[in-house]
Amino acid sequence: MSTLILLRHGQSTWNAENRFTGWVDTPLSANGREEARLGGQRLASQRVHVDRAFTSTLVRAIDTGRIVLDELGQHALDQVRAWQLNERFYGALTGRNKAQTAEEFGAEQVHIWRRSYDIPPPGGESLADTAKRTLPYFNEIVLPATLEVATVLVSAHGNSLRSIVKELDGLDDDAVTRLEIATGVPVVYELDGDGSVVDKHIVT
């Protein structure tokens, strides 16, 4: 048995401004740093010890993972950074305010760009595109790590984590469009010896 912890980064400054962020390297907001601290404290209350940590190359995920590890007293544990765990790329929507974009293109169209599985925004990635880079890394690097050590932490983003949860939970393309992953809230999977899910719970 091993433990896999998935953690969406805390609120970023552009999250707070309701802007499409994607690959723009925006930092955590003060609220986002507090969300990360609370997530770490919740894991610490369960006496979690992380053996290996992965994150994206974007500072909001890196800092979230670092704050959590610090709360666990694991100041020296390095995080493995991988671009494959980055947020989806939003193309022409990057930097735009979501409400203003809905006014310009229509709420239904923006909802399709944000939540459909395989329809990308102009010049950007769909969730399916994100999964094509995230899942090979997860299956070839992260999942094997759970067979080598007891506890693995992945600090990443809403859409890269949705790709992973889709596979772990066996969700179809329609179900994953309704999946929400809260910022700063650890999602914990217990895995058996072949990487199959035995249990899942959210640490609140």
d(CA 144, CA 140) in angstroms, rounded, equals: 7
148: helix, strand or coil: helix
CA–CA–CA angle 57, 73, 16 (5° rounding): 45
Question: Which among 68, 87, 86 has a CA at the least distance from the CA of 77?
Answer: 68
Contact status, residue 71 vs residue 40, Cβ threshold 8 Å: yes
The overall longest dimension of the chain from CA atoms, in Å, is 50
Specify the residue for token string 């880079």.
133
Question: Strand 187-191 and strand 197-202: pairing?
Answer: antiparallel
d(CA 36, CA 31) in angstroms, rounded, equals: 9
Catalytic annotation on 49? no
175: helix, strand or coil: helix
Catalytic annotation on 104? no
Q: Which of 35, 71, 87, 125 is catalytic?
A: 87
Q: Which of 9, 35, 125, 157 is catalytic?
A: 9
d(CA 180, CA 121) in angstroms, rounded, equals: 19
Active-site residues, by number, are: 9, 87
